[in-house]
Structure formats: structure tokens, C-alpha cells
Amino acid sequence: MQKNMKKFLIDANVILRYLLNDIEDMANEAKKVIDSGAWTLPEVIAEVVYVLKSVYKVDRKEIANAILEILKEIEIEHKNVMNEALKIFSETNLDFVDCILIAYNKVENIEIFSFDKKLNNKLNQ
């Protein structure tokens, strides 16, 4: 590996182009950036999930599987939490942010307080 190689923080658009491969030149550039070493944030993954589900109408399990695969190629903060959140997302009908909260509770033992009944029911299981 070359010294002083930049690792880019990538946004949702880069991940979406990479996953969807719908705009060839952008998809190729996204692949190059990801292959050279990229990282992202949980907030970015939440946006990717939202866009895939709401705009592109992709199935929850397919979304989870695709993002779990890309998380093998890029770095992300709280990786174990995100992996668990994607698993929960694929198995429930909860919003992805709720899945992240449940994952923080499960993985990092963080106590969650909410008025959301569906979320509280899942937290108490």
C-alpha cells in the first residue's frame, strides 16, 4: 500500500451509485474510491437505506444484504451496531433509525428511552 493514501469519507450518493450501478461513469468512479479505501458514517447508511426503500422500492432484506456486503469493503464507525441494525431491519417492519437504536441497546448495552410503542415493544423483547 502506498504511503499517504487518502481515505475518503463517502456520502450516500457514492454508495447508491456503487450499489445501483445506474450511472456507469459514476458507478465506476465510486468503485475506484471504495477500492482505494473509503469510510462512511452511520448517518450516511441511514440515508442510503431510506433512499433504497422509499425511492427505489427495494426489498428490506435486499437492502440489508447489499449494505452488509459494502460494509465489508468500507470502514464505518460502530460497525457491530450497524451490522445488528441491518439484521433487525431485514427481519422487522421498523424504521431503520429505530433498528439502529435497538442495535445500540443490544450491542453496546445503551439504555434507550422513547415514547414510541413499537420501539419499546422491540426493546423489551
pLDDT tens profile 79-122: 999 999 999 999 999 999 999 999 999 999 999 999 999 999 99
Please report the DSSP string for 26-40 in residue order.
HHHHHHHHHHHHEEE
C-alpha cell at 86: 441491518
pLDDT digits 0-9 by tens, 28-72? 999 999 999 999 999 999 999 999 999 999 999 999 999 999 999
Sequence-separated (6 or more) residues with CB below 8 Å from residue 118: 94, 98
Residue 51 has a pLDDT of: 98
Torsion of CA 64, 66, 67, 72, to 10 degrees: 120
Q: pLDDT value at position 6?
A: 75
| Residue appearing with cell numbers 444484504 | 65
